[in-house]
A = this chain, B = another copy of it.
Amino acid sequence: MSVNSFGRVLRFTTWGESHGPAIGAVVDGCPPGIALSEADIRPWLDKRRPGASRFTTQRRESDQVRILSGTFEGRTTGTPIGLLIENEDQRSKDYSDVAKAYRPGHADYTYDAKYGFRDWRGGGRSSARETAMRVAAGAVARLIIPEVRILAYLVELGGDSIDRDNFDAAAIGQNALNCPEAAAAQRWEQKVDEARKAGSSLGAVVECVAEGVPAGWGAPVYAKLDAELASAMMSINAAKGVEIGDGFAAARLRGEDNADAMRAGPTFLSNHAGGILGGISSGQPVVVRTAFKPTSSILTPMPTIDREGNETEISTKGRHDPCVGIRAVPVVEAMMALVLADQKLLHRAQCG
């Protein structure tokens, strides 16, 4: 029942704080015989790595992951895969103010309320640094589901949505914002620059699509594929909403417009359901969108209190992402991979 673990058959556990000596993960349940080396993980970590552009935090981490167990002669053995990344650029001094007062929008106050205690260096365990290990674990998960192609990107930034008619998957890698539309990317760059200079921050919505998922993954009733995805995405830092397929818009459709009609194949005439019916995959693309709030760490001073309850102000001076949604993209992909790989193995257990 580890609260720092996720998954049922493929189960991973993460540990580590933002400014501790290292962070790590254990991936248990990976099938044996899969070719795996650090080179399979590195590209995904690079995609998430801080300091890559002016739109993300300037913290510098090389994020060199080491596989410490679970492989032999380049292949998985079926035993737990231990992953570790040393923390390098730990400027705890940036956090002296944080030690004194609670940052609004942050976990500072709630961790203290829960544990009577907190590691204030960079948010400690509540820092998005933890997501590096999700990305590493997700890279392993991807190898378990080679039949699936996963792609995530921003569809909205600071309230500005992409034009779906101009969707261009190729564009995603061509801008620093994971935006699938060249024109929107240009607008967004200006928006982010402006927010950063103003000491403010912006929110975003990340869409993730998984193609190639066969019909039959997922499990009633409390391990529904959509329930698992909702939990997975909502567990990412700054996530405030999750929707599947048409999501909240589906609540505005009529029954005959929302239900996806079927034709021989089997095939579907639409995908309002986002590839999931009754909690089980339908063979259509699985579509999930996650809303990320604007970064809570901002230069703009905010009213707050200190540990003794005295009123004060705080302005967060550390190196922070002006829009956490941008760097959430590879994390969302990783969680999608982890959920799908888990459900694949779970399905195999019960249904052979």
By the criterion CB–CB under 8 Å, are A220 and B251 in contact? no
Cα A224 to Cα B3 with chains together (Å): 8
Contacts A29-B349, A266-B305 given: A254-B124 contact, CB under 8 Å?
no
Measured CB to CB, the nearest residue on chain B to A14 is B221
* Number of residues of chain A lying within 8 A (CB) of chain B: 156
Beta-carbon contacts under 8 Å, A4-36 to B: 4-6, 8-9, 11, 13-17, 20-24, 26, 28-33
- One complex includes copies of this chain to the number of 4
Beta-carbon contacts under 8 Å, A333-352 to B: 345-352
- A250: B residues at CB distance < 8 A: 203, 240-241, 291, 293-294
Contacts A110-B281, A243-B240 given: A13-B21 contact, CB under 8 Å?
no
* Interface-located stretch among A145-153, A179-187, A271-279: A271-279
By the criterion CB–CB under 8 Å, are A6 and B222 in contact? yes
A280 at the interface (CB under 8 A from B): yes
A1 at the interface (CB under 8 A from B): yes
A56 at the interface (CB under 8 A from B): no
- A279: B residues at CB distance < 8 A: 107, 110, 126, 235
Going nearest first, the 8 A-B pairs with the smallest beta carbon separation are A107-B278, A105-B259, A241-B243, A203-B251, A201-B255, A349-B349, A159-B252, A113-B215
